[in-house]
A and B are shown apart, each in its own frame.
Chain A
């Protein structure tokens, strides 16, 4: 549609949204970058505009920050792998379920996503605590003499991430698996492939776009996660999302918090772009 009326209509619809997105997304992110070049002060707000790179220098010179970036990436990556191992069979099972049951099974996967994130993390706190359900159960059947340390460590963070983000893995996997024709697998069997070979040579390669999308949808938010490391994690392995939070709320150092945010956004830019390409391709 290149007609002049169409162009006018297009402007009429797009301009208000562009204005809204510019004010609420683009401008705030630009401000984060701008503040990251500022200097911390005692005032309110606690910074002054400047053009210094000293906040970035600080982040790069302090092993606390660098280590927190590395921890976040590592924990997000291993949690993503665990999500894939649990989520793939679930997605595959739903894709192969009778057609009239798939909707309900899918709903069961999505439902936890609708229920409060905080409450889901809280649920694990009450299970994992030294006096929590798991420990009391283990002790009462004599499997443990004293409470196991299940919380305030990396194990609990992994568990929390896998639990919270599993639906993000299952959904894209399901949508690619569901589109693979059953006759392809049957053809592979017909041509002499064992079930394992048919899976690895036909189904799995065809599901790779879903694998990639699911992994990115878990990895990206997990990297910047704050609530899970804060409530389930321990002091040994700080993650960058929580470090940034503390920098902001405890140290009140806005410029450093903004520098961390800028670096985190930059680090996630590539996975985000890949995820977007996959999404565009999927339709």
Chain B
């Protein structure tokens, strides 16, 4: 919709106010990460001391590297299954049990995280009793739980992108001598590359961000970054958390920006 319409001149102001609401708390958070005071609320001059302290905080560094590893691993598994799932939903028509298939993809996206976390712990615990694995719930367990969660989001993005692509391009591959697997790998996946990349990135950030599921499934030995942040936040505010938040917000914001550029449909591809 474009063009001037009467009586709605206040709309841009409402939008601006909405953005202030969304961004002001984050900007203040960033600002106070450069505050030279232990008090998070009183400005005492510019300083980068909290960043230096953050870098010296070994528990924080350890948790961050654990979380990054988990996120990369989880996003990759989610990327594989999510791409296959999105392809199945967009291209394979009314296969057997399709409604159940779609439901199982929807559930992780919409059920409250507390239920998902609990359910995954129940299954890891049952597995341990059954086959003795996983005896220690660490990296792999959290990554698998996050991959489950991420699969649904990758599938959503891939399915939406595939619906915008002309299916006869893939039929052309079959017509030109490629079997279904070859057509999928040589034509479908390359065409989907931007969507798969942004799905991967979304799964990565969701994993990096997750507190609830990780808290349920992780054993005592594995503390992810959000778990550490959560326990220190519960004890009180700390400028180090502001510094960490700044690092996370800026790096993830940049990644999101890059991915939104890449995922934007390029002209004339699907005509």
Q: Do chains A and B touch in the complex (CB under 8 A)?
A: yes
Please give me the 9 A-B residue pairs with the lowest Cβ-Cβ distance, nearest first. Answer: A224-B112, A195-B7, A28-B119, A93-B15, A9-B180, A89-B14, A123-B25, A24-B148, A28-B123
Is the C-beta of A265 less than 8 angstroms from some C-beta in chain B?
yes
Asked whether A231 lies within 8 Å of B233 as measured between CB atoms, the reply is yes
Q: Give Cα A185–Cα B5 distance, bound, in whole angstroms.
A: 8
Question: Binding site of B, secondary structure by majority: helix, strand, loop or mixed?
Answer: helix
Q: Give Cα A23–Cα B104 distance, bound, in whole angstroms.
A: 11
Is the C-beta of B163 less than 8 angstroms from some C-beta in chain A?
yes
Asked whether B119 lies within 8 Å of A93 as measured between CB atoms, the reply is no
A161 CB → nearest B CB, Å? 13
Asked whether B108 lies within 8 Å of A225 as measured between CB atoms, the reply is no
Asked whether B110 lies within 8 Å of A220 as measured between CB atoms, the reply is yes
Q: Give Cα A195–Cα B5 distance, bound, in whole angstroms.
A: 8
Which residues on the A side are within 8 Å of B115 (C-beta)? 29, 32, 224, 261, 264-265
Asked whether A227 lies within 8 Å of B260 as measured between CB atoms, the reply is no
Interface size class of B (residues with CB under 8 A): 35 or more
Contact of A86 among B1, B18, B233 (CB under 8 A): B18
Which residues on the A side are within 8 Å of B245 (C-beta)? 116, 119, 122-123
Asked whether A18 lies within 8 Å of B14 as measured between CB atoms, the reply is no
Which residues on the B side are within 8 Å of A87 (C-beta)? 18
Asked whether A89 lies within 8 Å of B11 as measured between CB atoms, the reply is yes
Interface segment, one of A51-59, A63-71, A173-181: A173-181
Which residues on the B side are within 8 Å of A227 (C-beta)? 211-212, 230
Is the C-beta of A152 less than 8 angstroms from some C-beta in chain B?
no
Is the C-beta of B41 less than 8 angstroms from some C-beta in chain A?
yes
Contact of A131 among B7, B41, B87, B208 (CB under 8 A): B41
Q: Give Cα A137–Cα B71 distance, bound, in whole angstroms.
A: 39
A-B contact pairs, 28 of them (CB 8 A): A1-B93, A16-B81, A17-B88, A18-B101, A21-B81, A21-B85, A23-B123, A27-B123, A28-B116, A31-B122, A31-B123, A89-B18, A93-B14, A96-B1, A108-B19, A112-B26, A114-B256, A122-B241, A123-B26, A123-B29, A132-B41, A181-B1, A221-B110, A254-B122, A257-B118, A264-B114, A265-B111, A276-B103
Asked whether A264 lies within 8 Å of B112 as measured between CB atoms, the reply is yes
Which residues on the A side are within 8 Å of B103 (C-beta)? 276
Contact of B28 among A93, A123, A258, A276 (CB under 8 A): A123
Contact of A96 among B5, B18, B116, B211 (CB under 8 A): B5
Supposing A116-B209, A136-B41 touch, asked if A244 and B114 sit within 8 A by C-beta, the answer is: yes
Q: Give Cα A163–Cα B29 distance, bound, in whole angstroms.
A: 15
A112 CB → nearest B CB, Å? 5
Asked whether A103 lies within 8 Å of B264 as measured between CB atoms, the reply is yes
Contact of B15 among A94, A111, A132, A258 (CB under 8 A): A94
Is the C-beta of B22 less than 8 angstroms from some C-beta in chain A?
yes
Interface string of A11-46 (1 = CB under 8 A from B): 011101110111111111101100100000000010
Interface string of A105-142 (1 = CB under 8 A from B): 10111111011111110111111010111001000000
